[in-house]
Amino acid sequence: MLAVVPSLAATASDRESTQTALADTVPTPQLSKPPAGIHGHALWDSWHELESFGYEQREYFVSGTARALDGSTAPYTTRIVVFRPTSDERFNGTVMLDWVNVTAQFENAVDILEAREMLLREGWAFVHVSAQQAGLCCTPLTPKVYDPVRYGAIAHPGDQYAADMFSQVAQAIRSHPRGLDPMRGLDVRQVIAAGQSQSADKLYDYVANNQDGAQVVDGFLIHGNGTVKKTFPQPLTVPVLNLLSDREAEPDPPTKDPLYRLWEVAATAHSDLFIGYQSVHGNGPRVAGQPPADRAGYRSIMEAAGNYGQVLDPLLGTCTVAGAAMPMHYATSTALHELNRWVRTGSPPAATPRYQFTPTGELAKDEYGNTKGGIRLPPVAVPVARYESTACNLGGITIPFSDVQLQQLYPTFADYDAKMRRATDRAVRQGWLLRPDAVDQMRRVCAVRPRYPAADRGTCRGYGPPAFGSASR
């Protein structure tokens, strides 16, 4: 659904007429199946099995002619990896296109990694979109080098054509093209684009330069844009949610556009443990030829990836690939969930607090050394660690409090548990934390118990959805 004004959702007839117009504006590309190749599977397919979640995956080549902003055209063949529910009953109607990050000279689907648990439980379809040339060739972890037999047909004409290629992928997802339908007939109602870091910069440029003409994307999550731009050259036509970590903090005021929301998440790093752990322990073995992890393997990796500093681990001091443990993945999941609701209903998420800054424009810090202001998830509201979120430029480190410090702050485990429970309730009421993620957060609190003397450990109650009542979204 294309949200043209913030308070109204488009009617069915509006959508039908819009789609008719789009068919004349953005070409529908040709889709084809890749050969089996050397490895017999797609590079960067799911590192864990999908069947038990009610999902399947397919890779497609996407071919057509793309147009750059200067009017030049070029033929292209790129690829997408589609992760989709196996039935309409499981599908929530929304497809997330991840403009995958290529900063490391290979593809990293950051927002799929960050929001994976929410996407699977809510029934989204999500798509790994190979939009940029550097992600396709020519390092060992790019398709054309990893499997030259499977990917021999790929031909990217240059990043000046990437935005139009992305539009054509969105058109293919929306239009159910004859021949190969990437959604296999699922009823697609919304298409949302997401991208992190360099990809967020590309999506900002897409919104500024391509969205008005294409109108095939219904909403954008611009996540951690490296060159922070919180204003746009023209009024927005669809919702844009801008999600920032401490590294992107700037005191400049954002645009007043009613279709824009800025979320700044205190103590988060540009790249964190949740991303890095999945990349190393999930994607790593899969790329090396291991079969996808089973359900138990999936849970084991997600358990370790979600450490917020409550479990002592040497990885918390490792820059960039691990280290930063403040759970941005909760905020990413909430942002996508709220963006989807905004697109569907026309009702925007509530405004959130800004970061606090010193008179010299630096991020202000609280008594624990953590960022002040912004969205304050439970681990920063009731801390067990100092989050050095910008210590490593793109990453950070986490410095857990010692057992003595912990026990001085929270004399018993029951005291810590109660404070975290109240902070979690508050985050849910304010729309910063989804109910299932709140349950996950409070379950992880139990790992703090062993850091107390036996007499002060008490019991760990966990946290069930009924505790939130009508406050959850």
CB neighbour list of residue 306: distance below 8 Å, 6 or more residues apart: 274, 327, 329, 440, 444
- pLDDT band at residue 48 using 50, 70 and 90 as cut-offs: very high
Q: At residue 469, does pLDDT exceed 80?
A: no
Mean pLDDT of the chain: 92
Q: At residue 4, does pLDDT exceed 50?
A: no
- Whether the CB-CB separation of 25 and 214 falls below 8 Å is answered with yes
User: If you classify domain 12-264 with CATH, what class do you get?
Assistant: alpha beta
CB neighbour list of residue 17: distance below 8 Å, 6 or more residues apart: none
* Longest CA–CA separation in the chain, Å: 73
- pLDDT band at residue 24 using 50, 70 and 90 as cut-offs: low
Put residue 373 in one of left, alpha, beta given phi > 0 → left and psi -120 to 50 → alpha.
left
**Quick one: which H or E segment has residue 178?**
none
Give the whole-angstrom CA distance, residue 416 versus residue 269. 24
| Single pTM value for the model | 0.93
Give the domain ranges of the chain.
Answer: 12-264, 276-309+350-391+401-471
Where are the strands (E) in 100-252, listed by range? Answer: 125-129, 190-196, 219-223, 240-244
263-273 residue pLDDT tens: 999 999 999 99
